[in-house]
Chain A
Amino acid sequence: MTRRPGFLVYGLLGAFVLGSVFPLYWSFLVPSHGNDILTDKVPPLWPGGNFLANAQQVLDTVPFWHAMLNSLIVSGSVALSVVVFSTLAGFAFAKLNFRGSNVLFVLVVVTMAVPTQLGIIPLYMAMSEFGWAGHLQAVIVPNLVSAFGVFWMRQYLVDAVPSELIEAARADGCSMIRVFWHVAVPAARPAAAMLGLFTFMQSWNDFLWPLIALDQNNPTIQLALEQLQAGYYVNYALVLAGTTLATIPIFLLFVVVGRQLVAGIMQGAVKG
């Protein structure tokens, strides 16, 4: 195991990474030149100078900044809410003894496998009834909690918080919510950050439900991208400029926290 792997391993992995990156690079390459490279026999692999012009056209065609802000509000609220409720419930399941806790936790696990997406029709009927359709709360409220989040925080807190610490704090007269705040929350921070990050990205990507619940005047970024594409003739330089613009913030986030993201996925795999 300590021997360095040979050229073949690097070659195969390098090819895999190249394949992973290339489609994203292509979505930058096309708008940086223009639609004419789509008809080239051998397209140039070096970017041209038209990206900003195409990006400007995106901003003129769809309410891009409005959509970005909407996505930020939606994903931010959903991530915050999921983290708060999951940490609370996860703490209770991990560290507190209460009647029915085992049954309730099994329910949480079962819930993870329920395809709630299939409930969109009554959900849409309810949203129109409340007059929420077209407003951001229609895409925030259905995602306020996550079974996976509860499961994830519970698995983490089981080991992260020593039970003796909780008992000591209780014996000193700490109320339960203060124990939660001063003992569980500091310990939960790394797992909570991961959960927040995953939830944010998942919510940012969401398409089916926002497509139903919102309209073109008040879109999320994914709806704005679909709107860009939805002409009879697809102007790929324009549409791919849009996807690139929308991917840049997530890509920057990935550059900053990618290492932790990798660690989080691997940690979740072993714990889960």
Chain B
Amino acid sequence: MTLTQLPARRPESATPAVARRDRWAKLDLKVSPYVYVAPFFVVFAVVGLFPLLYTGYVSLFDWQLGDDTAKFLGAGNYTELLTDAQFWNALANTVSIFLLSSVPQVIVAIGVAALLNTNLRLRTGFRMGVLVPYVASLVAVGIIFGNLFGVNYGLVNSVMDLIGIGPIDWQGNRLASHIAIATMVNWRWTGYNALIVLAAMQAIPPELHEAAMIDGAGPWRRFTNITLPMLRPTITFVVITSTIGGLQIFTEPKLFSAQPGSNTGGSTNQFQTVTLYLYQSAFENLRLGYASAIAWALFLVIVVAAVGNYFLTRRLSR
């Protein structure tokens, strides 16, 4: 291959071979970047973007699973969705579980990060320790916490019994089931987010704290007036990623159910989330069109929530 040989010295007169090589090099320089980024865009368009858009198309039909004679409905699925009590119930559950998981999670993560940001012995050990829940799969977490929050023989109720509270019906009571599911989410992600916040804390220039200390600001004032404002971009990032993920929550409520394998999210749908309802509509009720309408509605909710959170976090931590 003459093309890849390293020319030690270039002859001044351009022989045809050199000219060809130069032209090739120019082409190589021009085209290569597109070739390198193309696989990402092509594959994403085919397996990511297209299915999402096609979901919008399917949502306009009465499309049964395994049936090729789809009937066009127009906005029919959406008007049905607006008056579907089960959908609104699922949306309320999703938002409730999301709030119960994200708000305490961010607050505790900041606290844990502040603790980790001290001059600890065994620093790496503690950092790894808070990340341990990350090794458990969501399915495992769902099963384990389903057991811990068991109504009759769960450890949580046993402990609460010892101190004279309860028993609480973690399955049947709507709010209690939301708290139990939010606990799973918080357990798995708080330590992870604490590490992200810790990294942001360590990026704050120490001079800021020193200057404030000279001005007589105590630790709490320095925390609220320096640390928190400096963490704003990171907190915004954590909140938005947890919004996008949290509103699609599926595995935890599905595995938490006392009737394993069911998609109802409890006997009266008390903890059925939107994605769980989407799954039930598509693969249990076999209504692909209606499930697609749910998917698009959820997509809209996620966009609104993510944008809303962006502005909210900016304002709150200003």
Contacts and interface: CB of A to CB of B under 8 A. Distances in A.
Interface residues of B, number: 101
Interface stretch (B82-90, B134-142, B264-272): B134-142
Contacts of A212: 279, 283
A99 to B, nearest CB: 9
A185 to B, nearest CB: 12
Contact of B115 (A12, A38, A123): A12
Contacts, number: 301
Interface string A236-272: 1001100100110011011000110110011111101
A125 B147 contact: no
Given A118-B295, A207-B251, A270-B200, A24 B144 contact: yes
B18 to A, nearest CB: 10
B234 interface: yes
Interface stretch (B34-42, B93-101, B165-173): B34-42
A43 B150 CA distance: 15
19 contacts: A5-B119, A24-B135, A26-B144, A92-B36, A115-B302, A116-B48, A118-B298, A119-B295, A121-B58, A122-B58, A174-B4, A175-B4, A175-B28, A226-B255, A234-B260, A240-B147, A243-B136, A253-B135, A266-B195
Interface of A: 1-5, 9-10, 12-13, 16-17, 19-21, 23-24, 26-27, 30, 38-43, 85-86, 88-89, 91-93, 96-98, 101, 104, 107-108, 111, 113-126, 141-145, 147, 150, 170, 172-178, 180, 201, 204-205, 207-208, 212, 221-222, 225-226, 229-232, 234, 236, 239-240, 243, 246-247, 250-251, 253-254, 258-259, 261-262, 265-270, 272
Interface of B: 3-7, 21, 25, 28-30, 32-34, 36-37, 39-41, 43-44, 47-52, 54-55, 58, 112, 115-116, 118-121, 124, 126-141, 143-148, 150, 153, 155, 158, 162, 187, 191-192, 195-200, 202-203, 206, 234, 237, 240, 244, 248, 250-251, 255, 259-261, 275, 278-279, 282-283, 288, 291-292, 295-296, 298-299, 302, 306
